Amino acid sequence: MSGKYFQRFVSIVLLILSIAACGPALPTAAPSPTPLPTRKWTGPKPLIAMNFEPWTEQLPTMNDLSVLWGPYMAEREWGNPREAVQGDGWGFTYDMAMDTQYKYGEDGIAGWADLQETVCFAFGFWDERQPYVTERLYGLSNPEGKYGETILEQRIFWENTPTHSYARYEYHYPREKPRFVVEIVYAKRDNQTTLVQVTVQATEAGTLHLLPMVWLRGEGYVQRLGGNAYDVAYNGGHFVIKTATPPTGWQISSNITGKKGDFNRAMIQNKQLANTGEGNRAAWDLALSLQAGESQTVYLAFANAASTREAERNADATLAHSSSILSLRQAEAEALYQNQVTQHQDVYRYALMNLLWNKMYYAYDGSFEEHWNGKVNLHDVVLVPDKWEFPWPAMWDTCFQAKAAALADITLAKDNLLLFLSPRWQTDAGHVPNVEWDMDAETPPLFAWAAWEIYQTDGDRYFLECIFPRLQRHYSYCRSALDEDGDGLYTGGFMGMDNIPRPSGPDVEQADTSAWMAFFAKHMSLIAQALGFASQATQYEDDYAALVQRINRELWDEEDGFYYDRDANGPLRIKSYVGLIPLIAGVPDKERAKRVLSHLSNPYEFWSDYGIRSMARNETIYEAGYSTSGWKNSNWRGPVWMPINYLLVQALGEHEPVLAETLRENLIRTVEQEWQATHHFFEYYHAETGKGLGADHQTGWTALVANLIQERWGR
């Protein structure tokens, strides 16, 4: 392997010390002569024996593989600030994306890439009827969609392992009336070599052109190696991809503006690829003619190595032993997370594996907002809420994702928290930019809660020591920035709950923001105690006690028995999640808690068979599902949202354990029934029917269903 390769890729997985000589996992961009380390998975071991034949070498187990290659490509790189068109984050449409070179990342169907998305691999599809080759999932931008950005394709995420040793994906084509069901399986032979199995089943007779595509984001070139192989030469070595099925056509082009859509143009205009070309982007046409009910399977393999010869040899060996590789990796994946819970095992396992599908390469320098340009520097694989609808990180999502990821891959959970609290994202003042749409905003400051929850999982004191100074900085920032009038109560704007009404004008104080700050102080005290910092623990305890007193004195409405936001004119009397956050933070005393619980358990207000509504049912602006009041897809005026419900289950356990368990069962049933019906984990759920709404792969926080199951039925 070339020295350039090591210099390129060691920087991806080496861990930088974000806090003075301490801290796990943060990839940097700095070159290093150190050989690429293999990150081992630290989760549960597979429950099977590894004895597959025939092999002249010992295959590494799932545990021993690295995460160098994986499903790190976005599903929708278009339509976000970092790819903004003329400064408009909504400016891209699907049609524009077909031939526009992206600036920061790539997208594709069942995309596969290295950790820095240097080499990209994905699929295109054409049935000789559609007006274009589908090279990325089709959907509508926020202005186009009735309920905001909307995916109109059907794809299902199945198994995935923490090292992506086995990943299975299902795609239905074409989108309007699917006639082909495509199953795509990735199975790693080793850290640098992967087998790809594609099975196409037809529901009616027809021809499907399967277009495997490989391209580079940076410098390099592609050359043919005979009729069924490409050599992708770049500064990381040679990435050779071979197909066991003779292609009916081939083409090489360039991944630049004006050239990116060449494969589409060739197929639509000539019904075949050009069988010529040069550049850094290549495709084959594998034309599969099928009868109704018939299926065909094709195999590809790609290998990365220092030389073309070595890479080609490894790809050949992988194709020759495809059955053994698939058998081993499939068995490992099927054993993953098995027998960890005694009930709801399927939805538990797939929630965690779907979460692992939400790992995505994300590069951003803050350039969408002038005063942030160059002040952040992310170029990492991170967990995102949904790779189509939300292909960017959001901060309170990150905290809930970390909680769920602690069951799936605890190293991943820690890495994500440390990354966003590192100097590459967190400012010197302590601010943690919320999301690329609004870098100045804060969402609920839940990092201390997430860190404490992870610590409770494995007792890793070193992790706490590393994250605590960054948490202190964030806490200090929030105390100052969210309490502008210095009265000890807090205001943070929308705080992640987009369209819940807020007061305006002078002396605005928010019940939820103030309670989130109490929650923050409470967990800072717990962390300080665990680290033996007695004086700091006492200070946070004092902060918590003082804030509890202020919230109860100034934001509690004795007449209604509920917490409200208020301004100079008095309380904003709308019952929503806003008034339940103090319960989560432990703010109310016994009598106040009893009155809040009377609202929470009332079926005419918050309680439903599907979870706790985000707004009381008897409010005039209550909407159980999508909003019709002019807001788009993120509706907090009624539907059931998993993250708040999860925290309510935790809080209710201290007050009404039976009610807590009933809520737990309702939430699990809601998510499980929709997953069984659709195989999707949704962003939120209709409060009167339980129907899944919003993003359909929101295992960012809906994966918390696995925590709900494990906490009750874990072994």
pLDDT, tens digit, 9 for 90 and up, residues 587-634: 999 999 999 999 999 999 999 999 999 999 999 999 999 998 877 779
pLDDT per residue as tens digits for the range 58-74: 799 999 999 999 999 99
Cis status, amide bond into 445, omega within 30 of 0: no
Q: What is the mean pLDDT of residues 186-198?
A: 98
Q: How far apart are CA 709 and CA 715, in angstroms?
A: 11
Q: How far apart are CA 70 and CA 68, in angstroms?
A: 7
Provide the mean pLDDT of the chain: 92
Q: How far apart are CA 317 and CA 195, in angstroms?
A: 10
SS3 of the chain: helix, strand, coil, percent, to 5: 35, 25, 45
Query: What's 112-168 look like in SS3?
Result: EEECCCCEEEEEEEECCCCCCCECCCCEECCCCCECECEECCEEEEEEECCCCCEEE
Domain 38-335 falls in which CATH fold?
Beta-galactosidase; Chain A, domain 5 (2.70.98)
Q: How far apart are CA 445 and CA 443, in angstroms?
A: 6
Instruction: Decide if pLDDT at 26 tops 50.
Output: no
> Are 160 and 173 a contacting pair, CB within 8 Å?
no
- Amino acid identity of residue 20, one-letter, is A
pLDDT per residue as tens digits for the range 87-137: 898 899 999 999 999 999 999 999 999 999 999 999 999 999 999 999 999
> Are 383 and 405 a contacting pair, CB within 8 Å?
yes
Q: For residue 562, name the pLDDT band (cuts at 50, 70, 90).
A: very high
- 34 or 42, which is more confident? 42
- At 79 the pLDDT is 87
Query: Which of 77, 81, 102 is CA-nearest to residue 91?
Result: 81
- At 57 the pLDDT is 58
Instruction: Decide if pLDDT at 335 tops 90.
Output: yes
Q: For residue 709, name the pLDDT band (cuts at 50, 70, 90).
A: very high
Element (H, E) at 550: helix 534-554
Radius of gyration of the chain (CA): 26
Query: Which of 497, 492, 438 is CA-nearest to residue 631?
Result: 497
Q: For residue 52, name the pLDDT band (cuts at 50, 70, 90).
A: very low
Query: Which backbone phi and psi does 62 adopt, to 5 degrees?
Result: -50, -40
> Are 408 and 402 a contacting pair, CB within 8 Å?
no
- Amino acid identity of residue 266, one-letter, is A
Q: What is the mean pLDDT of residues 545-560?
A: 98
- Among 5-19, 179-193, 239-253, the range scoring the smallest mean pLDDT is 5-19
pLDDT per residue as tens digits for the range 646-698: 999 999 999 999 999 999 999 999 999 999 999 999 999 999 999 999 999 99
Q: How far apart are CA 237 and CA 239, in angstroms?
A: 7
* Cα 610 to Cα 576, 580, 690, distances in angstroms: 16, 17, 6
Q: What is the mean pLDDT of residues 235-249?
A: 96
Instruction: Decide if pLDDT at 408 tops 90.
Output: yes
Q: How far apart are CA 678 and CA 317, in angstroms?
A: 38
- 38 or 345, which is more confident? 345
**Three-class SS state of 508:** coil
- At 87 the pLDDT is 87
Query: Which backbone phi and psi does 328 adopt, to 5 degrees?
Result: -65, -50
**Three-class SS state of 195:** strand
Q: How far apart are CA 600 and CA 662, in angstroms?
A: 13
Instruction: Decide if pLDDT at 30 tops 80.
Output: no
- At 24 the pLDDT is 35
- At 276 the pLDDT is 97
> Are 133 and 267 a contacting pair, CB within 8 Å?
yes
Q: How far apart are CA 333 and CA 48, in angstroms?
A: 10
Query: Which of 43, 681, 163, 707 is CA-nearest to residue 408?
Result: 43
Q: How far apart are CA 91 and CA 169, in angstroms?
A: 30
Query: Which backbone phi and psi does 448 adopt, to 5 degrees?
Result: -65, -40
**Three-class SS state of 566:** strand
- At 58 the pLDDT is 78
Neighbours of 40 (CB within 10 A): 17
Element (H, E) at 684: strand 684-685
- At 659 the pLDDT is 98
Instruction: Decide if pLDDT at 5 tops 70.
Output: no
- In this prediction, what percent of the chain has a pLDDT beyond 70? 92
Residue ranges of the domains in the chain?
38-335, 601-715
> Are 322 and 147 a contacting pair, CB within 8 Å?
no
Q: How far apart are CA 386 and CA 697, in angstroms?
A: 5
Euclidean distance between the first and final Cα of the chain, in Å?
Answer: 44
> Are 550 and 543 a contacting pair, CB within 8 Å?
no
Q: How far apart are CA 192 and CA 69, in angstroms?
A: 8
* Cα 276 to Cα 234, 238, 282, distances in angstroms: 21, 21, 10
169 - beta bridge partners?
Answer: 157, 184
